[in-house]
Structures are given as structure tokens and as C-alpha cells.
């Protein structure tokens, strides 16, 4: 239920109004206290840094393409229109790889490290600049990838496409174990890194907050939405008659790269919205 905290706050406010209308003062006071606790927990997501966007920023898109069923032409159009430099994809199937290539994705992003799988367990990293040292991270149910992005006159940047298991219907201990393992992997990477993820977690999950914070003696991961004060950027579910409820899709950085903008984008045919971030790179 932790992931639904923003929704529960809204429900709580509606309940408070009903209690006030009924003059149930004691119950209303209790409702105010509960709402205040929820608002306090969410407040850090709305207090961010006002970063300056630059033409030299790297543009990163994260997309869950729903078992490979997202519209390939629409996705490639988003990539071109937004000037995407790096695209991380999860739920990538072999059929989707072919469909995206026919739609022109490799013309826009000619370099790729891909591990598609039937059934939506695959993932991929596409980039405008060369990729090297591609690696399938071991020990995960779904494909989680890392590759190094090579840019002129800069240290290689680790690009991750991550998709840990959800806490439901999977046993929650497996979800927690995967987040812990990702934490170990990411904080062992000492170079600059950029992560696109369907995290299957939200800021309300302690396991996700622990993933962000890392060891006490190490720089923490920066969540683009939190850093910029974007609030709850809900991406799931999409394509329903009601609004998206959960902020699952993320762009994270560490060791130099800094988010300067973050927003949600539509992905026709997917049950997720995508997210688009601009990332300022440190010198050297």
C-alpha cells in the first residue's frame, strides 16, 4: 500500500470533508493528523533544485514497451522529436527489436546493446554514440543491462537499463533482494553513471529509498524527479480511463551527471508512460 500514498492522501482529504460536513470533529482531527503525516512524507519530492538546461545536456529516455507491444513508429517519433541521445527499454522482445529497426530507430540511435526475451523479460540500451563493454547483470529474473557510453574527451559513462521484479504478485522478499543486489552493483561502479529504470518501486518504499541512499560513505544516487522537485510523476498504468497512479519509471544518476529537466511522455500501445530527462555532464 505504500506505493499508493499520494492517492490515499487525496482519499483522506475527501473523507475529511465528509467528516467536517457531518460535524464529526474528533474523527476529523484524526484525519487531519493522518493527512499531515502523508503530506510530510511526500513534501521532499516537491522541493527541488532549479537547474539550467543547456544544449550540451544529454537527453535520456526510459521506456517500458509493455511486452513489446508499444507502437514502434510512435516511439521512434518521440526519440527523434526529443533529440534523444540514450534510450533504455524494458520488456523488449525479439519481435519489438525488428519492429523498432523497421521504424528507423537505428538511424536515430545507431549503437545498441540488446538482450531481448520472449514474454517481456528483455531489455535494451540504444545510443547515438558508441557503446562498449555491454553486460547482462547476473542473478535477476528479468534482463538488467549495463554498457559504457563513449563520448569525445570524456570518461566512459555507465548506462544501465534496469527492471527489477515487482513486489506483487512476486514474493516481496525477492523484490527486496533484487533491489539490494542492484544497490551493491551500482555503488561498486565508481565512474559516472546514468540509469533508466522501471524500478517497480516508488519513493514510498523503504527499499527504494535505501537503493538511492547507498552506503553512508558514498555519494548517493540522484533521482531526477526528486532532484528537480517534479513531484510524483506517475507513469503506471497508462491507457486507462483513470489517471496513472504509480511513479515507477525513473532516471537516476551518480558520480557527476546531473539532471536538469524531467518530464513524462506518452508511449502509445504501452501500459506505461515513458520519461525523458536532460542530463548535464561534468567536465572531463
Laid out side by side, the sheet with 145-149 consists of 131-136, 145-149, 157-162, 193-198, 249-254, 222-223
Residue 2 — very low, low, confident or very high, per pLDDT cuts 50/70/90?
A: very low
* Pairwise CA distance, residues 118 & 248, whole Å: 22
Q: Residue 188's pLDDT band (boundaries 50, 70, 90)?
A: very high
What pTM did the predictor assign? 0.86
User: Does the pLDDT at position 67 exceed 60?
Assistant: yes
Q: How confident is the model at residue 50 (pLDDT cuts 50, 70, 90)?
A: confident
How far, in Å, CA of 120 to CA of 123, rounded? 8
Q: Which pLDDT does position 86 carry in this prediction? A: 99
Q: What is the DSSP string of 149-192?
A: E--TTS--EEEEEE-PPPSSSS-HHHHHHHHHHHHHHHHH--S-
pLDDT one-digit tens code per residue, 102-157: 999 999 999 999 999 999 899 999 999 999 999 999 999 999 999 999 999 999 99
Predicted confidence at residue 256, as pLDDT, reads 94
**Interior CA angle at 173 toward 168 and 177, to 5°?**
115
Task: State the average pLDDT for the chain.
Answer: 89
Q: Is pLDDT at 13 greater than 70 in this prediction?
A: no
Residue 218 has pLDDT above 80, yes or no: yes
pLDDT > 70? residue 27: no
pLDDT > 70: what percent of the chain? 83
Q: Between the CA of residue 49 and those of 46, 58, 173, 227, 261, what are the distances in Å?
A: 10, 18, 34, 6, 10
Which of these ranges, 28-42, 157-171, 179-193, 238-252, has the smallest mean pLDDT? Answer: 28-42
* CA atoms lying within 13 Å on the CB side of residue 59: 17
Task: Give the span between the Cα atoms of 82 and 192, in whole angstroms.
Answer: 23
Span 161-185, average pLDDT: 95
Question: What is the Cα–Cα distance from 112 to 79, expressed in whole angstroms?
Answer: 14
At residue 47, the 3 state secondary structure works out as: coil
Tell me the C-alpha distance between 114 and 108, whole Å: 16
Give dist(CA 114, CA 68) in Å, integer.
Answer: 13
What Å distances lie between residue 147 and 112, 139, 163, 194, 232, CA to CA?
9, 17, 15, 10, 29
Amino acid at each position: 500500500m505504500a506505493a499508493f500514498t499520494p492517492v490515499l492522501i487525496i482519499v483522506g482529504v475527501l473523507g475529511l470533508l465528509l467528516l467536517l460536513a457531518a460535524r464529526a470533529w474528533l474523527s476529523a482531527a484524526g484525519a487531519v493528523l493522518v493527512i499531515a503525516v502523508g503530506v510530510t512524507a511526500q513534501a521532499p519530492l516537491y522541493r527541488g533544485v532549479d537547474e539550467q538546461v543547456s544544449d550540451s545536456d544529454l537527453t535520456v529516455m526510459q521506456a517500458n514497451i509493455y511486452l513489446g507491444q508499444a507502437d514502434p513508429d510512435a516511439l521512434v517519433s518521440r526519440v527523434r522529436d526529443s533529440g534523444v541521445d540514450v534510450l533504455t527499454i524494458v520488456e523488449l522482445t525479439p519481435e519489438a527489436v525488428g519492429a523498432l529497426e523497421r521504424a528507423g530507430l537505428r538511424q536515430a540511435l545507431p549503437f545498441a546493446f540488446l538482450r531481448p526475451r520472449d514474454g517481456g523479460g528483455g531489455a535494451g540500451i540504444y545510443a547515438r554514440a558508441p557503446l562498449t563493454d555491454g553486460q547482462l547483470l547476473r542473478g535477476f529474473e528479468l534482463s538488467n543491462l549495463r554498457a559504457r557510453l563513449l563520448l569525445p574527451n570524456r570518461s566512459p559513462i555507465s548506462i544501465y537499463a534496469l527492471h527489477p521484479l515487482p513486489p506483487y504478485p512476486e514474493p516481496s522478499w525477492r523484490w527486496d533482494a533484487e533491489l539490494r543486489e542492484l544497490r551493491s552493483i551500482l555503488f561498486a561502479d565508481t565512474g559516472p553513471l546514468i540509469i533508466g529504470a522501471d524500478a517497480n518501486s516508488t519513493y514510498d518504499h523503504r527499499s527504494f529509498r535505501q537503493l538511492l541512499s547507498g552506503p553512508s560513505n558514498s555519494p548517493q544516487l540522484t533521482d531526477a524527479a526528486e532532484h528537480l522537485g517534479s513531484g510524483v510523476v506517475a507513469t503506471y498504468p497508462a491507457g486507462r480511463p483513470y489517471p496513472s497512479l504509480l511513479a515507477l519509471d525513473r532516471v537516476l544518476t551518480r558520480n557527476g551527471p546531473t539532471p536538469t529537466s524531467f518530464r513524462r511522455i506518452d508511449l502509445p500501445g504501452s501500459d506505461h508512460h515513458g520519461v525523458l530527462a536532460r542530463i548535464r555532464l561534468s567536465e572531463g
